[in-house]
Amino acid sequence: MSEFSITRKLLAWAVHLFTASGLVAGFMAILAIHNSQWREAMVWLIVSMFIDGIDGTFARLAKVKEVLPYMNGTTIDYVIDFATYAIIPAYFFYQTGIVDETWRMPCTAMILLVSALYYGKEGMVSNDMYFVGFPVMWNMVVFYQFFVFDLPSWMNVVAIIILSAMHFIPIKFVYPSRALRLQKLSIFVSVIFFISNGFILYFYPEEVLWAKYLSISTIFYFGIMAIYDTWVIKELK
């Protein structure tokens, strides 16, 4: 085996390990939740989300599928994503008391059940690389419920129910690193999303209004893009 081939294999394994490190970040979030360290827990969840957002690019650059054909990076990714986007956020949701005690367990169960069903759905990602239905991003749902919006319990319950149903409605949501339409703009907005949320967490419990409004504006962008990509583009075709 040539030195070049060995280097390529090492790089490919490094990418898989980088992907897997998202699970370590998730475990750190569990420890923080256990200790009621809400800010630290969310920081770790965002770290895992950041890893998930860029590992695919590294995998394509390193041609991981070609170099390590016996390793399935997608399977690794799904295992980590279900933990960091569903199970751990559900634990955060339950422990923080975002909703009243009566609704806490039913909403937590709903988050977990619909997430499992969504992952079992054929066509979870469309051929043009969009998430079909609201993607399993409960980490961000609980982030906004706990750190950004100060909503009454019943409104948080309604939000959980609506978003759970949206898992199975064929709305196309932007996959920033893969969907080609307005990709640069979507990546730019994603960067703003991470920066503004980083400031929110850094200064918590102090409220930083500019970061809060900037973060909310990123939600509106992805919401408007979902409407545009699902219905407007369809009509133009």
Share of the chain above pLDDT 90, in %: 67
Question: Sign of torsion, CA 218 223 226 228?
Answer: negative
Q: Which domain holds residue 108?
A: 3-236
pLDDT at residue 1 greater than cutoff 80? no
Query: What per-residue confidence (pLDDT) applies to 234?
Result: 62
pLDDT at residue 34 greater than cutoff 70? yes
Kindly report, residue by residue over 71-115, the tens digit of the pLDDT: 887 888 889 999 999 999 999 999 999 999 999 999 999 999 999
Residue with the two structure tokens 């955060």:
92
Give SS3 for 32.
helix
Q: Treating both helix axes as pointing N-terminal to C-terminal, what angle do 73-82 and 38-61 enclose, rounded to 10 degrees? A: 170
- CA 76: distance to chain centroid? 15
Share of the chain above pLDDT 70, in %: 97
- Please tell me the distance from the alpha carbon of residue 138 to that of residue 191, in angstroms, as a whole number: 19
- Please tell me the distance from the alpha carbon of residue 221 to that of residue 110, in angstroms, as a whole number: 27
The count of domains in the chain is 1
Residue with the two structure tokens 């051929």:
127
pLDDT at residue 63 greater than cutoff 70? yes
Kindly report, residue by residue over 148-157, the tens digit of the pLDDT: 998 999 999 9
